[in-house]
């Protein structure tokens, strides 16, 4: 079984992912900003938890080290945390929104990947899973800042894959389509359930040792592109 750090674990996909992974016997550290939700998740699953605000660079820098202390090592990092403050035209976004989305959606997963790489390289094994979005494959009006950050992370993840490969470390970029989470302003029952997305992510840990999924795009049946 693997030692896993999951970010963005207090709601939606991350919450379900922790339940799925612990249900399969993995040792998991869940992290997020909501301490009450983390405690609830720990009670349900037996996972360990670390409260952290990934918009704070120092907290992001320290998170991997804390997870390693809790787990006794680190086999898998799942960069799931992400946010989109609102939809708006390019002329309407604020500098505060831009900086916050940069901190959470791009800087934090990049820093966490860097720190995880330092831990995994000596072990000559490990896996980093970056949860992006199909917005990184498209150009949707009113989604400029979020799209820019996710496309930036996609580019970073592609280079991470090449630099990690010689050290036996697998890197996967995931591009999920619409999911019915509280990320959205209204319910979308026709979209993927967070549990379905979590189970899809968990499959990556069960692939044969000689297989790596570099990229995976998956959507609900109502989406075709």
25 pLDDT exceeds 80? yes
Query: How do residues 69-90 score in pLDDT, each as one tens digit?
Result: 999 999 999 999 998 888 888 8
Helix (H) or strand (E) holding 172: strand 169-176
Distance (Å, rounded) from C-alpha 219 to C-alpha 156?
A: 23
**One of 15, 150, 170, 191 is an active-site residue; which one?**
150
Say what the pLDDT of residue 184 is: 47
DSSP-based helix, strand, coil % in the chain, nearest 5: 50, 15, 35
Active site residue 146: yes
Domain ranges of the chain: 3-218
Residues 3-218, CATH architecture:
3-Layer(aba) Sandwich (3.40)
CA nearest 64: which of 118, 1, 12, 131? Answer: 118
Share of the chain above pLDDT 90, in %: 79
**One of 146, 170, 191, 195 is an active-site residue; which one?**
146
Contact residues for 94 (Cβ-Cβ < 8 A; gap 6+): none
Q: Are 81 and 32 in contact (CB under 8 A)?
A: yes
Structure letter (DSSP) for residue 179: B
Say what the pLDDT of residue 139 is: 82
Beta bridge partners of 174: 131, 216
Contact residues for 77 (Cβ-Cβ < 8 A; gap 6+): 4, 5, 64, 112, 113, 116, 126, 127, 128, 129
CA nearest 148: which of 186, 93, 213, 194? Answer: 93
Query: How do residues 160-212 score in pLDDT, each as one tens digit?
Result: 999 999 999 999 999 988 776 665 455 667 889 999 999 999 999 999 999 99
33 pLDDT exceeds 80? yes
Say what the pLDDT of residue 222 is: 83
Active site residue 15: no
Q: What is the largest CA-CA distance in the chain?
A: 49
Q: Are 64 and 29 in contact (CB under 8 A)?
A: no
61 pLDDT exceeds 50? yes
Say what the pLDDT of residue 84 is: 87
Say what the pLDDT of residue 141 is: 82
Distance (Å, rounded) from C-alpha 70 to C-alpha 225?
A: 41
Mean pLDDT of 207-218: 94
Query: How do residues 123-164 score in pLDDT, each as one tens digit?
Result: 999 999 999 988 888 888 887 999 999 999 999 999 999 999
């Amino acid at each position: 079984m693997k030692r896993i750090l999951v970010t963005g674990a207090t709601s939606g996909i991350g919450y379900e992912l922790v339940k799925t992974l612990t249900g399969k016997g993995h040792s998991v550290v869940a992290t997020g900003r909501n301490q009450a939700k983390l405690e609830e998740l720990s009670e349900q699953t037996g996972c360990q938890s670390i409260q952290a605000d990934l918009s704070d660079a120092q907290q992001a820098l320290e998170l991997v080290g804390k997870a390693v202390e809790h787990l006794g090592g680190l086999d898998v990092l799942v960069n799931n945390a992400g946010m989109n403050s609102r939809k708006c035209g390019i002329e309407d976004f604020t500098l505060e929104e831009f900086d916050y989305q940069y901190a959470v959606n791009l800087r934090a997963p990049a820093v966490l990947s860097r720190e995880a790489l330092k831990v995994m390289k000596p072990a000559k094994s490990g896996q980093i899973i970056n949860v992006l979005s199909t917005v990184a494959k498209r150009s949707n009006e009113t989604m400029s800042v979020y799209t820019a950050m996710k496309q930036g992370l996609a580019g970073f993840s592609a280079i991470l894959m090449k630099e990690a490969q010689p050290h036996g470390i697998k890197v996967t970029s995931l591009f999920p389509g619409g999911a019915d989470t509280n990320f959205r302003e209204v319910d979308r029952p026709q979209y993927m359930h967070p549990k379905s997305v979590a189970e899809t992510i968990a499959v990556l840990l069960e692939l044969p040792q000689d297989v790596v999924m570099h990229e995976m795009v998956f959507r609900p049946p109502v989406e075709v592109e």
